[in-house]
Amino acid sequence: MRSLRGRLFVSILAAVLVAVGVSLALGAVLTKSAVRDTIRDDVEAQADAFASRYEALPEAVRDEERRRGSRPRPPRPGDERQGAKPPPRPGGAPPEPRPVSVVSLARAERLLPESAAADLRAGLPADGSAEIRGADSIYAARPVEDAVVLVTRRDVVTGDDFSNYLSALLIASGVAALLAAAAAVLVARRMTQPLRRLGGAAGELAAGRRPEPVPAEGIDELDELASAFNEMSQRLAVAHDAERAVLLSVSHDLRTPLTSIRGYAEGIEDGTIEPRVAAAVVGREANRLERLVGDLLALARLRQGVLEVGAEPVDLAAVAREAEERMRPRAAEAGVEVRIEGGPAPAVADHGRALQVVSNLLENAIRVSPPGEAVTIAVGPGELSVADRGGGIPETEIPRAFERFHLRARAGGGSSEGAGLGLAIVRELSEAMGGGAAVENRPDGGARFTVRLPT
């Protein structure tokens, strides 16, 4: 049986049957013991009461009681033999023992086991179980002078009555087992239905479709599984959309410089374009391709955890000045001034990766700022921010500002030269160095990107 429903049914039913069997066995044993203890206590109490009463009778009355108790029937041959049994009653049933009798010590010795007879001869009370007058009985014997008060009660746990009780108990257990089987079927079905729905949704997800969210079933473990699957499905859908967007953006970014390079190459071949002019354009587009491929490789290494990131004391003010010198020609070409405020700014980071982070932020700020405006780099202990004078970022887009290609063309400014990967690299590198990155809109226009690093 390989299905989970079948295994659950068998497991639940087996557990119930074992529990019913153990309960039945223990119930029979405990019930038998309880019944015998009750009968024994009652017989002993009666024996004590009758012995006290018999001892208080006058001598003549005691003699009469002893004669009546010792002669339940006329004597027959063989009664003198130790342990002799009377003939069976008509119909084969053993004669019913008299519940209370006063017998002589010799008579009691013949009726009771040797251990009880020894106790009586020593003047001690005797209690126990024995076959008396052809029936299994529980007895209590009390010696009173030269007589014995004997109280007997039929041992019902060895007779048909207790067998009938056990039969009824077995029937009740069988009914309980059938009800348990029905309950096991319902429980197994209820527990496996959510798993079947989850399996169907997983099949749709594996086939490339977007399944409907798996509903909660009210069972904590299954609800956690359904929530985890729904979250995974949603993340896979987002990742699929992001992958599609990345492929489209990369394809566009690769096609544009390649088209330009091919056009200028054909112009050189036709003699319609000066080779020097074409070489400048081809070199610029080749640099653009190189930057795009480098950014993609850097992101891939960061995601795989193979890009090594060091940790050493650095001065973010010095890193900012180095990035400004690197981007100074581009800022002059765009007509944008770069200002550095604050310092010194100690932090613990990888110098090369920190320079790449600041350079990416500065390049992005120069690209979106109009000519004649200023880009500000503010530094402090463990913190560096780059503020531009562009059109800002829509508030709904701020949570996704560091996603790949998401802010490639920001509202109110920007150009198509950016590959759309710079901000994603900023976040990945900042987190790899133990810090983080954030963005906010400035009250007077533009956006401010802030990087925080350990100190």
Q: Identity (one letter) of the amino acid at 159?
A: G
Residue 72 has pLDDT above 80, yes or no: no
- Residue 82: per-residue pLDDT: 37
Give the pLDDT mean for 262-268: 81
Give the pLDDT mean for 427-442: 85
Q: How confident is the model at residue 92 (pLDDT cuts 50, 70, 90)?
A: very low
Tens digit of each residue's pLDDT (9 = 90 or more) over 379-388: 889 889 898 8
Cβ atoms of 9 and 184 within 8 Å: the answer is yes
DSSP state of 445: S
Residue 206 has pLDDT above 50, yes or no: yes
Q: Which domains does the chain have, with CATH numbers?
A: 4-162 (no CATH), 220-304 (1.10.287.130), 312-452 (3.30.565.10)
Q: Quick one: CA dihedral 407, 408, 411, 415, positive or negative?
A: positive
Q: How confident is the model at residue 227 (pLDDT cuts 50, 70, 90)?
A: confident
Strands 346-349 and 436-441: unpaired
Tens digit of each residue's pLDDT (9 = 90 or more) over 387-409: 888 878 887 778 877 776 655 54
Q: SS in 3 state form for 255-296?
A: HHHHHHHHHHHHHHHHCCCCHHHHHHHHHHHHHHHHHHHHHH
Top pLDDT among 83 and 218 is at: 218
Tens digit of each residue's pLDDT (9 = 90 or more) over 100-155: 788 888 888 888 888 888 888 888 999 988 887 777 888 898 888 878 888 888 87
How would DSSP label each residue in 79-132?
Answer: TTSTT--PPPPGGGPPPPPPSEEEEEHHHHHHHS-HHHHHHHHTT--EEEEEEE
- Residue 83: per-residue pLDDT: 40
Residue 414 has pLDDT above 50, yes or no: no
Top pLDDT among 396 and 74 is at: 396
Q: How confident is the model at residue 200 (pLDDT cuts 50, 70, 90)?
A: confident
High-pLDDT (> 70) share of the chain, %: 76
Q: Is 65 exposed, middle or buried (0-12, 13-18, 19+ CB in 10 A)?
A: middle
Range with the poorest average pLDDT among 25-39, 55-69, 214-228: 55-69
Query: What's the pTM?
Result: 0.43
Bridge partners (DSSP) listed for residue 450? 385, 438
Top pLDDT among 250 and 391 is at: 391
